[in-house]
Amino acid sequence: MEDGFITLPKLATGILTADTDGRAKMADGFLTQAKRVALGQQVSSSCGTYSRSVATFGNVTNLSVSITTTGRPVFVGMIPAGGEGSQSYISIGGPGANTPSTLTGLTHTAPVTPDYAIQDFVSSGAGTAYGFASKDEGNSVLKVIANLQSRLGDVEDFSGAWDGLIQILRDSTSISELYVSALATRAAGSTVVSPSGPWTIDVPAAGTYTYLVQAKVTDAAFTIGLQNWKLIAFEL
């Protein structure tokens, strides 16, 4: 057939008319979607459980596909790996469990496990200053103060947000970048988000390309995780 002989309106109605030279038309409905050439769909294996605590981009395990295109736009995106018990999500976490220090930093005499119920001060005599009821009582007070200092340090160190980035590359060229962030909560663990997987539409020239996913954190104290995703690419 000559270039341009088949148009989208004709496909939509299932009708192909004769050309200007009077050549016979195809029978109505002869060209169907099922008879069109396959779109070259490529799907990767699952990334499984992947995490990264490095402030430079690195390849996410298995999230890479190669596709040969004709010059039409290409859809590229992450899709859930699927299956019961294989939840797909992206997580971003702060330093360790982010748990404040406990009341164990100072030595005391007795009891071995104090209850930190502070007793009244006592006077050593008329006209003298008041003091702790005992040496152990004084150490208990110091322990409480030290713990408060430690907790304040935790707040100052881990305030703000935990940040990470996910990008999609065509060969070595970044074509899409997703920002992932969670406010630090002073709590153990990480914040989990379950968005639609990062995706984009690329418009490359005809050729063979490799698409891949990379991830990083903005600070090595953070951790970004990807759970049970696949990468898919196909020509539109």
What are the tens digits of pLDDT across the range 153-188?
666 655 567 789 999 999 999 999 988 887 655 444
Three-point CA angle 121, 126, 129, nearest 5°: 40
Token pair of 213, please? 């996913």
- Ranges under pLDDT 70 in the chain: 1-29, 31-39, 95-116, 153-160, 183-195
Q: What is the pLDDT of residue 224?
A: 92
Q: What is the pLDDT of residue 94?
A: 72
CATH top class, domain 39-97+160-235 = mainly beta
Q: What is the pLDDT of residue 188?
A: 46
Q: What is the pLDDT of residue 197?
A: 78
Q: What is the pLDDT of residue 121?
A: 83
Q: What is the pLDDT of residue 37?
A: 61
Per-domain residue ranges of the chain = 1-36, 39-97+160-235
* CB hemisphere CA count around 161 (13 angstroms): 9
Q: Is the peptide bond before 80 cis (omega within 30 degrees of 0)?
A: no
Q: What is the pLDDT of residue 36?
A: 62
Q: What is the pLDDT of residue 103?
A: 58
DSSP3 helix / strand / coil % (the chain, rounded to 5): 15, 35, 50
Query: Do residues 164 and 216 make contact, with C-beta atoms less than 8 angstroms apart?
Result: yes
Cα 118 off chain centre by? 47
Tell me the longest C-alpha to C-alpha distance in the chain. 125
Does pTM surpass 0.85? no
Tell me if residue 78 falls in helix, strand or coil.
Answer: strand
Cα–Cα nearest to 224, from 192, 177, 196, 195 = 192
Q: What is the spatial distance between Cα 186 and Cα 184, in angstroms, rounded to a whole number?
A: 6
Cα 12 off chain centre by? 40
Residue burial 105-140, b: 16+ Cβ < 10 Å; e: rest: eeebeeeeebeeeeeeeeeeeeeeeeebeeeebbbb
